[in-house]
Structure 1
Amino acid sequence: MGRTRTFAENDVARSARTVFWDRGYEDTSLPDLEAATGLNRSSIYHSFGSKRGLFDAAVESYLDDVVRPRLAGLRAPGIEPGALETYLLGLRHAMVEQTTSLAANGCLLLNAAGSVLGHDERLTAVVTLYCDDLAAAIGAGVDARRPDLEPAVRATLSTTCTGLVFASMAVVRVDRAAAASMLDAAIDAVSRY
């Protein structure tokens, strides 16, 4: 008879996410993960299959806990006209004015895409879906905020804002002021374009 599990896999994934986010996949060792999760190596392998399996669970927790809640206002039916500004201001606050993992380390997925995992098909699929979801959410926010603009202009504005968001998440770990400027430019573009 097998032993009863005494931990929640979601909690383990969140604990591991903190380490992966801080150190990156390559520089995170199994002893690091054991210390962060309170599990021994055999429990990690039994539950997640491998370090990579635990990383995949950590990525899912990132999407569930960090990304999707932040985008909720841009995905709701009947998006409020100010939803995009609310999203951009909230992101700016989290990255520039708080001491969050996002502020300290940038986007977990963008960081992973630039690592040794960048050519991995599973990660590429997750990052591509993430990019598409963010672009669609921002596009919906632009449509709600600026229905007065021609469709081609709204598309350009959406692409510009999406690019500024991605750039801010990539640079925040080394230059918070630059990240803030990029998000301020996106907020300004939405209101003035």
Structure 2
Amino acid sequence: MARTKEFDDLTAVTAARDVFWERGYGPTSLAQLMAATGLSKSSLYETYGSKRDLFTRAAENYLDLIINPRLGPLDAPGAGRDELIAYFTGLEAFFTKAPDRIARRGCLLLNTAMDLNDLDDEAAMLVSGYRERVFEAFRAVLGTLGRADAERRAQILTASQIGLMVTSRLDPAAAAQLAHALAEDVRTW
């Protein structure tokens, strides 16, 4: 008779996500994943296949639970300037109020791009897809504002957002200031 899983998959994947997010893919050890998830080595391999497969699940969890809810208001019909300002003021509030250890995490997918010298195709697609998702959300909102330069401004905002997330790894207070400045810029558009 096959044994049933005695753990919550979402909890385990979220715990692994947080370890990868904080430490990076390469530096994360199997022992750290085992400690965070509470799973044995055999359970990790039996359930997720490999560290790389578990990372894929963690990245998907990150998109579903962190990125999509943050970008969701920008995707709503009629989203405009207020939602774009709220996006950046939300990041400002996060970097200001979150514990330093959490605020310094940056973005799991951008960290992956910097962590892995040679991204495999799947990881490269995740990172590229994330960047495209952010760009499209910004472009759609700027388009509803009737901006003739929506594409160019969306590219600038996307690059700024990526810079903001990288900055947060070094200095969350500086990232909060940048998020504030971006929100103020959007107010004038």
Does 2:173 match 1:177? yes
Report the equivalent of 2:182: 186
Instruction: Give the superposition deviation at 1:102.
Output: 5.4
1:133 counterpart letter in structure 2: R
2:139 counterpart letter in structure 1: G
Larger mean Cα displacement after TM superposition, 101-110 or 36-45: 101-110
Instruction: Give the superposition deviation at 1:188.
Output: 2.4
RMSD: 1.7
Where structure 1 has 5 or more consecutive residues not aligned to the other structure, the ranges are none
Report the equivalent of 1:112: 112
Runs of 4+ residues deviating >4 angstroms: none
1:3 counterpart letter in structure 2: R
Instruction: Give the superposition deviation at 1:186.
Output: 1.8
Residues 160 and 186 in structure 1, CA contact (< 8 A), matched pair in contact too: no
Residues 91 and 176 in structure 2, CA contact (< 8 A), matched pair in contact too: no
TM-score (norm 1): 0.90
1:142 counterpart letter in structure 2: L
CA distance in 2, matches of 1:182, 1:156: 19
CA distance in 1, matches of 2:101, 2:143: 31
Instruction: Give the superposition deviation at 1:96.
Output: 2.9
Residues 102 and 169 in structure 1, CA contact (< 8 A), matched pair in contact too: no
Matches within 5 A, 1:46-65: 46-65=46-65
CA distance in 2, matches of 1:81, 1:189: 11
CA distance in 2, matches of 1:102, 1:89: 17
**Match of 1:173, SS?**
helix
Residues 167 and 182 in structure 1, CA contact (< 8 A), matched pair in contact too: no
- C-alpha spacing 1:95/1:177, structure 2 compared with 1 (3 Å): closer
Where structure 2 has 5 or more consecutive residues not aligned to the other structure, the ranges are none
Matches within 5 A, 1:1-193: 1-99=1-99, 103-116=103-116, 118-144=118-144, 146-147=145-146, 149=147, 151=148, 153-193=149-189
Once the two structures are superposed, residues 120-142 of structure 1 have per-residue CA deviations (whole angstroms, 9 ceiling, x without a partner) of 11000011111001000011222
Once the two structures are superposed, residues 21-77 of structure 1 have per-residue CA deviations (whole angstroms, 9 ceiling, x without a partner) of 111111111111111101001110011001111111111111111100001101112
- C-alpha spacing 1:44/1:59, structure 2 compared with 1 (3 Å): same
CA distance in 1, matches of 2:60, 2:102: 16
TM-score (norm 2): 0.92
CA distance in 1, matches of 2:5, 2:131: 35
Residues 59 and 109 in structure 2, CA contact (< 8 A), matched pair in contact too: yes
